[in-house]
Amino acid sequence: MNNSENNQVLLEILRANLNLSDSFVVIKEPIFNNAWNPIEVDLVIEDKTNKYFIEIKSKVRVDTIARLVLLKELLLKQGKDLSKTSLVVASKIIPPIVEEVANQIGIKLVLIPHNIGLSTHQYDYFPNKIKITSEKSWKVITRLLKERMTSIRQLSLLENVSYGWAYATIQSLISQGIVTKNGNYVGISDINKLLNGAGWERPFENLFVGEINIEYDDAFKAAQNLTYMLKNKGIKFAFTSYTAGGLYTGYVIRHDSVYLYLEKKEIDFFMKTFKSDKQGIKARIYAPDRDVFDDARENESVQVVSPGQTLLDLAGLGYSGRDVTKSLVDKYASI
């Protein structure tokens, strides 16, 4: 797993062991910052009125427990109310002596699987901004578009994405002013900012590999015929961009081109087989950066990518595709 995945798994483990609600937040500021004795912990979590000071170690030692106790004493001397604050240590290895001391003074211990990589930099576990166009994050976002208002827990369950990943995605969107939160429920509040961010992060034309003239004068008929022939050959393909967007929304699509993904090994075959010397419409071919074929579906006898993938690709066109993109957003909940 990469660092981001490790971080999300760790957050999910903490959520389960500490019985956190969907509304918990990660705090990154130091909790005791005195010029002569600055003390930090690796992670601070707030969950409604409860707070958790968390140390994260590969192997926990008694001195880690002592540091947490010292921190608590210093905060008490400052007059802080710690009645709803818990001290937590998450570690891969917990020696018996540490477990005994922790139990005696009320420190919660959380065992971490040995295969999780841990960051050693303070407050570096959960970045404020993640890549919203990554496969898992985009699943969370498009599910939120479909549900309109729901909890992070439901987003996680409906899309089979870890709670930690769903949480990190939503927190990133909240910090960017794209999502707002009302109690345990979240919803997209600025669709323009979302689409602009997706278009900037993943320009669709970066996946373009070439185009050919094909012997058709109608884009819709071309997509239908190509679907029939390519399916019979067992070739992995799916139409996208304006072609898929027009079929999902009924929006008037461009009639001079069709847009499709092809499995990389089949691109050469397609271009040689369907290239025409006659002036017809164009087939614009793209190489996928993720699996776009498994959840493809047929719409009016044309094999198209999923609505979520279509939205991502249309957003990647920027303002040139904004009308059909907005039309798809408006109808997304019912598709």
Domains of the chain (ranges, CATH numbers): 3-111 (3.40.1350.10), 135-189 (1.10.10.10), 204-334 (3.30.460)
| Pairing label, strands 257-262, 237-239 | antiparallel
Q: Give pLDDT tens digits for 273-327.
A: 999 988 889 999 999 999 999 999 999 999 999 999 999 999 999 888 888 999 9
Kindly report the average pLDDT of the chain as a whole number: 87
| Pairing label, strands 85-93, 50-59 | parallel
pLDDT of residue 39: 61
The Cα 187–Cα 110 span in angstroms is: 32
The Cα 235–Cα 327 span in angstroms is: 30
DSSP 96: H
pLDDT of residue 255: 75
pTM: 0.69
pLDDT interval class at 122 (50, 70, 90): very low
Q: Is 4 helix (H, G, I), strand (E, B) or coil?
A: helix
Q: What is the mean pLDDT of residues 251-280?
A: 89
pLDDT of residue 143: 96
Q: Give pLDDT tens digits for 150-192.
A: 999 899 999 998 887 888 888 889 888 899 988 889 999 999 9
In the chain the beta strands, taken as DSSP E runs, fall at 25-27, 43-47, 50-59, 85-93, 108-111, 150-151, 179-182, 185-188, 208-214, 237-239, 257-262, 281-286, 297-299, 302-304
The Cα 85–Cα 31 span in angstroms is: 12
pLDDT of residue 17: 92
